[in-house]
Amino acid sequence: MKIETEEQAKDILSKIRWEHSSENKRIAFQCLEFALRIKSKSIEDLARINYFGHLIFLNEIDEALIQYGWMLNRLKETREIGEDFNTFSVVWNFKWVIHQIPTFASFPLDKVEATLQQFKALYAEYNGGEKVIHYFEMQLRLFLGDRKKSLEEYEKYQSPTISTSIYDDCSVCQKDALIEYFNHLGFYEKSRSFNSEVGAENFTCSEVPQITFPKMCFANLMCGDFTSAAVFYKQTIDQLTLKDAHIDLYYYILYYLGISQDHQGGIAVLEAQLEACFKTSADYRKMNFYHAGFHMCSEWTKQGLQSVPFHLESNDFVQLDNGKLDIRKAKEWFETNFRLHLNRLNTRNGNNYWSEHFIELEKQLITIADRFAQM
């Protein structure tokens, strides 16, 4: 696309603002480069916000975090001169950012805490209320392996007298986040209590329920309700686009596909999602995905599967043998890389919380797999 004038750039940016796609992301970046070439601060502002929106939607977290750092600084700059720089958008998106920051083991604890303080200060400044703070702090503490503090924050979040604001996630997004939170704590029955609600017509916003289905699939699987798990798996496949990067969602499905012996489904997920794993340096996400991949391959190995046709552009995975993936090698690869990111996270956190979590999870998975096999 050839961009020649400021008006043209503004027009393009307004048209692609809410139509998120890889193509539009590239267009937004082109508008940004145009703005930098002609040194237009106003177009740069528009282009970066736009570009950032696409990065979040496409789950390109690493790059989005970098752009956010610029946005935060720009908010401060413009505030000092009395201008508005997409204030609501910048403040709103800090929620997404604070959710991602602790997932990078390369970010030390003091920096994570400093970011949390920045988040609290910004929300205090913009009357963000208390609910949103506790909502994100409960998740952050769990990423840092502090289960006790996390549950304390959860209690505060639940308080009916807590102050709310326009910055709170919508009610269904909050329920979705709770389901994920319960899953991480191993409170699967609590997640399952949302079974009928998640299927209802009014349980919807721009991302929900499609991002909730894989979480419900996993929760039901872990409670031994294979029928409901299958239903939620089908809904995931129907409503989530497999080629969109969602390693934080599809890893739930890998557990299900391992136990249910759905080889075709599992390979499709790996082929579609592994590249996204390689692109990010978010240890927490990679750890979960690789563990799920390891578990899936373990189950398949137990079932006698030796190799499957496989295709991946990247060379970062197991070497293929004549277009086929050796399941045992894949299992080893996943285990090695899972432990790598697990150890990095534990080292950063200064505790073994996540190691203990996976030990417990693996015991439960063995029980569930046995139960499924006996059906």
- Find the shortest distance in angstroms from Cβ 253 to another protein: 23
Shortest reach from residue 222's CB to another protein, in Å: 31
In the complex with another protein, which residue's Cβ is closer, 1 or 366?
1
**Judged by CB under 8 A, which of 6, 63, 168, 225 binds another protein?**
63
72 binds another protein (CB under 8 A): yes
| Between 42 and 158, CB nearer to another protein | 42
Question: Which residue has 């736009």 as its token pair?
Answer: 50
Q: Which of 5, 42, 70, 127 binds another protein (CB under 8 A)?
A: 70
Under rule CB under 8 A, which residues in 261-290 are in contact with another protein? 281
**Site residue total, another protein (CB under 8 A):** 34
φ, ψ (nearest 5 deg) of residue 32: -65, -45
Give dist(CA 71, CA 52) in Å, integer: 9
Find the binder of another protein among 9, 13, 32, 253 (CB under 8 A): 32
Question: Which residue from 52, 57, 85, 107 is in contact with another protein, where contact means CB under 8 A?
Answer: 107
Select the span of 104-112, 121-129, 327-335, 351-359 touching another protein (CB under 8 A): 104-112
Backbone phi and psi for residue 325, each to the nearest 5 degrees, phi listed first: -100, 125
The 3-class SS string of 267-300 reads: HHHHHHHHHHHHHCCCHHHHHHHHHHHHHHHHHH
What region, left, alpha or beta, does residue 108 occupy, with left being phi > 0 and alpha being psi -120 to 50 degrees? beta
Judged by CB under 8 A, the residue of 101, 257, 277, 365 near another protein is: 101
User: In a 10 Å sphere around its CB, with 0-12 CB exposed, 13-18 middle and 19+ buried, how is residue 131 labelled?
Assistant: buried
User: Which residues form the interface with another protein (CB under 8 A)?
Assistant: 1-2, 12, 15, 22-23, 26, 29-30, 32-34, 36-37, 62-63, 65-70, 72-74, 101, 104, 106-107, 111, 114-115, 118, 281
